Amino acid sequence: MKRHSACTMDCPDSCSFLVEKREDGTVRVTGNPDHPFTRGVICAKGAALPKRLSHPDRITRPLLKKDGAFTPISWDEALDLCAANITACRAHPSSILYLHGFSSHGVLAKAGDFLFGTLAASSKTGSMCDEAGCEATARDFGAVDQNAPSELLNAARIVNWGRDLSRSGVHTGMLVRQARKAGTKVLTISPGGDGNAPFSDAHVRVRPGTDRFLAAAVIKLLLDQNGPDQNGPGPAVLSRLANFQAFRQALSAWTLEDCLAACQVSLDQARDLLSWFTDPGPTSTLIGWGVQRHPLGGQNVRFINAVSVLAGQVGRPGAGVSFGIGSGRNLGPGFETAVPGFSGRLLLPRLGREILDADPPIRMIWVDAMNPVNQLPDAETTARAFETREFVVVMEAFLNDTARRANLILPCALPLEREDILGSYQHDWVNHSAQVLDPPGQVKTDYEIYRLLAERLGLTLPRAEDCLRRALAASPSLDISLEEMRERGFARPNRPTVAFPGLVFAHADGLCRLPEGLDPEPGPDPDYPLRLLTLISKRSHNSQMDQAAQSGLPTVFVAPDCTTGAPFIGRAAHLASPLGRLAVRVESLPGLHPSAIIMRRGGWMALNRSANPLIAPLVADMGGQAAYYGQYVCLEA
């Protein structure tokens, strides 16, 4: 028998699943063919969920660290210990740091936010990945919005600006393939080294981090087209801009030649790229979730947005710029918002140092749906900060790098083992993630853990079912009951498929804002000439990977013509930055920009496979986001 559920992992596709429990006890997960976005297809990570759920390394009992080793204890002991430590800190609630990540998201996944917000604990600000791009989009358009992904099928051309369609967003890749079969042309812009060749008709290789200069060069060419038969921005576009003259003045500080030199793209390539935006028919632009991970990543996104706006490629079917949407925008709040809220916020990209320097001191840390020791830059400082707190609680299913620093590990349910309702940050479909499997051993759902803890603290958590009903009832765009959602498995909100129609934007005056500065790209230290790009993996979701799959040296990739990297190709070496060294194996990757070096992210520090101890805690220009790709490194013997 098959039942529907949905993926709750941090992925834009938010897939709808069919889960089959076989007579032999095995479980098979496939894509739901009735879901209009999933269309019966899921990625390798989703298909591998049953293996992860039943993995022999999974933690299925609460574990307390005693004399450096973890010992099983009962749930009553564990929760009493949590309550005692929280009570000891309640006179100064900011000394409790609550960290909730996005590795599990949905309505009920916010139970910890409600509980620790009620306690007025400290929390985080900023992000690890996307906030610079989100803030850039909001600054330009007044809201984080985009055309529905299905509008790609109405495009004459697609400009894929930095998204690896082979590893991220498999269903967007499916739409691009479908569009190409119907005659749509696709151009990929990236530093190379991605899996986009099967999705692309042409490729422009750009120096890492300098996408804004390529966009600026195209805009300069566009603005120079002033003749009666040319395709420069017309009055209809210019009338929808709040600050065109200030933008043009900022752009004038750079010559076309300077912009092209900065991004290392030829004039002919820039002219060709301009035609992708100005030829007849709509052009849709996909912005990858990497261009914003640079120190000036927000500015990168803003200039890409500006190209599309000035070319009249926004607010129409088949066009638009797609960076993402808010995954919760089609759901109301499941938990009451009338709570005291968090008393302090620590900047996430510099979390380790912020914990160590906090005043009053952080005494207790609670981690939910996150692996900060592994995933944040300056990882050794983060690890030291965790190791020196009085009490650290980690809700986790495996002994990852953060769990190893815990005093107490609480085993939590994984996807398919808990119910929730969630949206996507790529499409508007809202999915019901049904509980179709019982959690193993003594594992509890996140919500149940928080409910039992709240009781011990004299607080009351709303009933889970009430939270789900409230989120649906308060939706600004859904008209569906919980019973109907459970029956159907998904619903599409009543939203338009075209964002900002007629170039009417979400700012109060309806006008678009263009960037008013174009800043130079920070250059490398001569001793560290290579830009480190820690890109996603195809087989595992960030650090959610099997320890057995992490044997041997991690692999890094350089271009065959990389002057400082080529001598190490096919050999073991050390990847080095001012923060340390990591033993690696070096391989060649044709097509990669010679100033870049790629390492797939997610490897564990405990197994000497993480690059994050080498990455400085840089902060992007917008959103308090980590600028991972600002780190320069070298290869050493």
The model's pTM: 0.96
Report pLDDT for 227. 45
Other beta carbons less than 10 A from residue 341's beta carbon: 13
pLDDT in tens, 151-201: 999 999 999 999 999 988 899 999 999 999 999 999 999 999 899 999 999
For residue 2, the surrounding DSSP H or E stretch is strand 2-6
Task: Give the 3-state secondary structure of residue 393.
Answer: strand
Report pLDDT for 231. 59
pLDDT in tens, 133-157: 999 999 999 999 999 999 999 999 9
Report pLDDT for 229. 47
Q: Is 74 exposed, middle or buried (0-12, 13-18, 19+ CB in 10 A)?
A: exposed
For residue 305, the surrounding DSSP H or E stretch is helix 297-310
Sign of CA dihedral 434, 436, 438, 440: negative
pLDDT in tens, 452-499: 999 999 999 999 999 999 999 999 999 999 999 999 999 999 999 999
Decide which of 235 and 76 is more confident. Answer: 76
Q: What is the CB-side half-sphere exposure of residue 340 using CA atoms within 13 A?
A: 14
In the chain, the domains with their CATH numbers are: 2-53 (2.20.25), 74-128+328-491 (3.40.50.740), 147-326 (3.40.228.10), 530-636 (2.40.40.20)
Tokens representing 237?
A: 């576009």
How many Å apart are CA 211 and CA 189, to the nearest integer?
Answer: 9
Q: What is the DSSP string of 238-261?
A: HTTBS-HHHHHHHHTTS-HHHHHH
Strands 69-72 and 63-66 come out as antiparallel
How many Å apart are CA 432 and CA 106, to the nearest integer?
Answer: 9
Contact 316, 503 (CB under 8 A): no
Report pLDDT for 543. 79
Per-residue 3-state assignment (H helix, E strand, C coil) for 82-140: HHHHHHHHCCCHHHEEEEECCCCCCCHHHHHHHHHHHCCCEEEECECCCHHHHHHHHHH
Q: Which residues, other chains included, contact 186 with Cβ-Cβ below 8 Å and sequence gap of 6+?
A: 157, 158, 159, 160, 176, 179, 180, 199, 200, 201, 202
For residue 44, the surrounding DSSP H or E stretch is helix 44-47
Task: Compute φ and ψ for 634, nearest 5 degrees.
Answer: -140, 170
Which residue, 250, 209, 231, is CA-closest to 524? Answer: 209
How many Å apart are CA 398 and CA 41, to the nearest integer?
Answer: 27
When pLDDT is averaged across residues 419-439 and rounded to a whole number, the result is 96
Strands 185-190 and 202-205 come out as parallel
Contact 177, 165 (CB under 8 A): no
Strands 408-410 and 391-395 come out as parallel
pLDDT in tens, 5-18: 999 988 999 999 99
When pLDDT is averaged across residues 250-270 and rounded to a whole number, the result is 98
Residue spans of beta strands (DSSP E) within 511-578 = 530-535, 555-558, 572-577
Which residue, 322, 386, 391, is CA-closest to 353? Answer: 386
Q: What is the DSSP string of 138-186?
A: HHHHSS-----GGGGGG-SEEEEES--TTTS-HHHHHHHHHHHHTT-EE
pLDDT in tens, 534-556: 998 876 777 788 888 889 999 99
How many Å apart are CA 147 and CA 313, to the nearest integer?
Answer: 11
Report pLDDT for 228. 43
